[in-house]
């Protein structure tokens, strides 16, 4: 295998995990992050003490705070930044790019200030480089333990899809392909909202019937929204849809699930987010999706309910009660259309 230079932007848990996969696969993995001390620790101690303290990193993984050094000459650039920092960093990165470099967003969120997806922001900030999205049920700490995991690379560019599959796939990380970039990206962003709801339900001791209902109605709701935005409904029966939704709604490793669980135990939103120490994208995404759903008149009772819980002090039991009392409708509206 020829050694390939791959750049990873973002020293959080998933960015670090991806960089480690690249290094383990025998490629030149360069990880960009802002914290000089954190970069030095990765290079000398081979561990990300802040986000992945229990997972040793490959010795060939090189961390740097110099964006130009990391990006220049990279065949593939994986952008694993929080949504709040995404635009500023990729805008800064654009000056170092060449036309043939492949750009892939792994951020599961929406650009603050408007309903713009990360892939759209990436296209806007750069100069025509091929763009893709990587998303799926990918809990970083499980990947760090080499537990078998699969993800989806979505792009209109076949060469990009094939290169990402070649560079990232190994014995514990499998990469499937899709050409529905918006569907895959929206699945990754929207499921964070419903993970908060699932965490709330678990904290309040709701049974498996209730949680099953919430997860499947979440899938119906997020696919309804995504299809209205131009996605393919079939995407949501795959890894980036139901797969990611199950993983993030059932696991305490999910940041968004932990936010919901802590809220269900009585914590305030500000306290919970501060104690978490990492960005929970679902809180930011909720506001933007609620605004867009209202604008387009998309039926999203769970989004509306969670918004009332987080920002207007509505009780979770009232949200569930409202769901149970809502108009009877079809189960899968792509088979039997829902009557408005």
Structure tokens at 67: 């964006």
Burial class (CB in 10 A: 0-12, 13-18, 19+), 112: middle
Taken in order 10, 281, 284, 274, the sign of the CA dihedral is negative
The Cα–Cα gap between 217 and 279 comes to 25
The Cα–Cα gap between 209 and 266 comes to 23
Give me the catalytic one of 191, 265, 287, 292: 191
The Cα–Cα gap between 76 and 53 comes to 26
Neighbours of 47 (CB within 10 A): 16
- Is residue 171 annotated as a catalytic residue, yes or no? no
Structure tokens at 26: 């025998």
Helix, coil or strand: residue 106: coil
Helix, coil or strand: residue 145: coil
Active site residues: 191
């Amino acid at each position: 295998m020829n050694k390939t230079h791959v750049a990873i932007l973002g020293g959080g848990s998933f960015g670090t995990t991806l960089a480690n996969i690249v290094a383990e696969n025998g490629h030149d993995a360069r990880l960009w992050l802002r914290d000089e001390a954190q970069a030095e620790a990765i290079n000398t101690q081979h561990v990300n003490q802040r986000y992945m303290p229990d997972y040793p990193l490959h010795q060939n993984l090189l961390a740097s705070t110099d964006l130009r050094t990391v990006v220049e000459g990279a065949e593939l650039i994986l952008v694993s930044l929080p949504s709040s920092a995404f635009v500023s960093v990729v805008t800064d990165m654009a000056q170092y790019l060449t036309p043939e470099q492949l750009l892939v967003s792994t951020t599961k969120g929406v650009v603050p200030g408007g309903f713009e997806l990360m892939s759209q922001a990436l296209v806007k900030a750069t100069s025509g480089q091929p763009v893709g999205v990587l998303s799926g049920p990918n809990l970083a700490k499980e990947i760090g333990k080499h537990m078998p995991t699969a993800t989806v690379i979505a792009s209109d560019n076949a060469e990009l899809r094939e290169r990402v599959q070649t560079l990232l796939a190994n014995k514990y990380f499998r990469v499937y392909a899709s050409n529905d970039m918006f569907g895959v990206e929206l699945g990754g962003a929207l499921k964070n909202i419903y993970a908060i709801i699932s965490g709330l339900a678990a904290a309040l001791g709701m049974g498996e019937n209730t949680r099953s209902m919430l997860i499947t109605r979440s899938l119906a709701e997020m696919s309804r929204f995504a299809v209205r935005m131009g996605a393919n409904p079939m995407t949501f029966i795959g890894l980036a849809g139901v797969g990611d939704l199950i993983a993030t709604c059932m696991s305490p490793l999910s940041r968004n699930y932990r936010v919901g669980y802590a809220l269900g135990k009585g914590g305030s939103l500000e306290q919970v987010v501060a104690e978490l120490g990492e960005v929970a994208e679902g809180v930011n995404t909720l506001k933007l999706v609620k605004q867009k759903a209202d604008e387009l008149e998309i039926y999203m009772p769970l989004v509306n309910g969670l918004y009332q819980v987080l920002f207007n002090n509505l009780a979770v039991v009232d949200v569930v009660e409202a769901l149970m009392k809502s108009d009877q409708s079809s189960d899968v509206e792509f088979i039997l259309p829902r009557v408005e």
